[in-house]
Amino acid sequence: MQKVLVTGGLGYIGSHTVVELYLEGYEPVIVDDLSNSELFILDRIGEIIKFKPTFYQINLLDEVAVAKIFAEHMFAGVIHFAAFKSVSESVQNPLLYYKNNLGSLINTLSLLENSNSNNFIFSSSCTVYGEADNLPINENALLKKPTSPYGKTKSMGEEIISDFITTYNKNAILLRYFNPIGAHKSGKIGELPLGVPNNLVPFITQTAARIRKELLVYGKDYPTKDGTAIRDYIYVCDLAKAHILALNRLINKKNTTNIEIYNIGTGKGNSVLEVIETFEKVTKTKLNYRFTDRRSGDVTAAYAEADLAKENLGFEAKTTLEEALKTAWDWQLSLK
Ligand code: WQD
């Protein structure tokens, strides 16, 4: 089997992508420092795919340790998830985010330089668009300055990769995720928000599970149909599949330029209130929430124009908001 290095492979998106990689016939090799995940996720992945991937618990800032991995394996590709991802934490501790997210990326790329691995998939984010002028957002939209250090590490990361790829004649695909939600249908893996969740859906499920007292809806005065902000909520397993399609494209040399960029979303926007109401309907629970002020840095609306990913990758997000929220709730209940 062709080996694929997955950095951050025990994290939320990473673990779901490891499952899809194996099902596609690749051998995933995982690197994770467990700063935002737990080792039992490796066992859960093993239960799902009936195969225990090679796992290295290392921090990508440890260049010697990372070099050893590249010396031990020949990778057909590298999928780079490893990064801190809390918008609010990045505002409180910007240097931690620049050091970790950019340092890890640079170390990984510098080892790619002298290896036979030529294919690099990067976990980017729609946050690089900021408050887009036009909706849906396509890949040619003007990149506005992200409003958080987290978002800046994504846009700077894209620049670093672009310069690297050009100089060393490698190939990369940048996947700009919209809002990943849900959990694997097996109920064995999902989003492990360690601490108070930042994101909407884990906060909803923890409120419904009485772990949190109430959900605060940040803003009821946006210029949208119901006053709450709009996002493109994509099921995590659909997002994971997009990585496989992107990797196949590079391995099969179907890419037309050294670096390609794709928005990965459903192409549909849902408001916070719609997500809440859909969750209540799907789970037959009543959510305790109230409206409060907008959260600084939030944009009014962001949802993808998903045509390019469909045309070039053959990617289409098939899972509905209802189905994705059901998997999130089932996962929450399994954590009890
Ligand atoms: C969604 C909507 C909030 C929590 C960020 C990053 C993105 C990606 C996902 C990492 C917004 C509202 C939220 C709550 C609320 N990164 N909300 N109450 O901010 O769109 O995207 O996370 O995975 O790169 O930018 O996602 O889930 O935080 O917020 O009302 O308790 O839900 O205001 O409108 P966001 P989110």
pLDDT by position in tens, the chain (length 336): 999 999 999 999 999 999 999 999 999 999 999 999 999 999 999 999 999 999 999 999 999 999 999 999 999 999 999 999 999 899 999 999 999 999 999 999 999 998 889 999 999 999 999 999 999 999 999 999 898 999 999 999 999 999 999 999 899 999 999 999 999 999 999 998 778 998 999 999 999 999 999 999 999 999 999 999 999 999 999 999 999 999 999 999 999 999 999 999 999 999 999 999 999 999 999 999 999 999 988 999 999 999 999 999 999 999 999 999 999 999 999 997
Q: Whose CA is nearest to atom 33 of ligand 1?
A: 218
Helices (H), 26-148: 40-49, 63-72, 87-92, 94-97, 103-113
Catalogue the active-site residues: 150
Q: What is the structure's pLDDT at 194?
A: 79
Q: What is d(CA 269, CA 75) in angstroms, rounded to the nearest whole number?
A: 37
**Residues whose CB falls within 8 Å of the CB of residue 251, separated by 6 or more in sequence, listed in order:** 2, 76, 77, 119
**Residue 335 Cα to chain centre, angstroms:** 21
Cβ of 85 closer than 6 Å to ligand 1, yes or no, is yes
Q: What is the structure's pLDDT at 84?
A: 96
For 284: left if phi > 0, alpha if psi spans -120 to 50, otherwise beta; the answer is left
Phi, psi of 214 (to 5 degrees): -155, 155
Q: Whose CA is nearest to atom 10 of ligand 1?
A: 85
* 3-class SS of residue 284: coil
Cβ of 264 closer than 6 Å to ligand 1, yes or no, is no
Give me ligand 1 centre to Cα 148, in Å.
12
Give me ligand 1 centre to Cα 92, in Å.
17
* 3-class SS of residue 43: helix
Q: What is the structure's pLDDT at 147?
A: 86
Q: Is 168 exposed, middle or buried (0-12, 13-18, 19+ CB in 10 A)?
A: middle
Q: What is d(CA 189, CA 183) in angstroms, rounded to the nearest whole number?
A: 6
Q: Whose CA is nearest to atom 1 of ligand 1?
A: 200
Ligand 1 site-directed mutation target among 86, 128, 178, 218, most atoms within 8 Å of CB? 218
Q: What is d(CA 241, CA 21) in angstroms, rounded to the nearest whole number?
A: 8
How does strand 119-125 pair with strand 171-177? parallel
Cβ of 192 closer than 6 Å to ligand 1, yes or no, is no
DSSP state for residue 124 in the 8-state scheme: E
Cβ of 300 closer than 6 Å to ligand 1, yes or no, is no
Q: Whose CA is nearest to atom 22 of ligand 1?
A: 199
Give me ligand 1 centre to Cα 272, in Å.
10
Q: Whose CA is nearest to atom 23 of ligand 1?
A: 85
- Nearest 5 degrees, angle CA 200-CA 203-CA 206? 150
Query: For residue 2, which of 33, 29, 42, 30 has the smallest C-alpha distance?
Result: 29
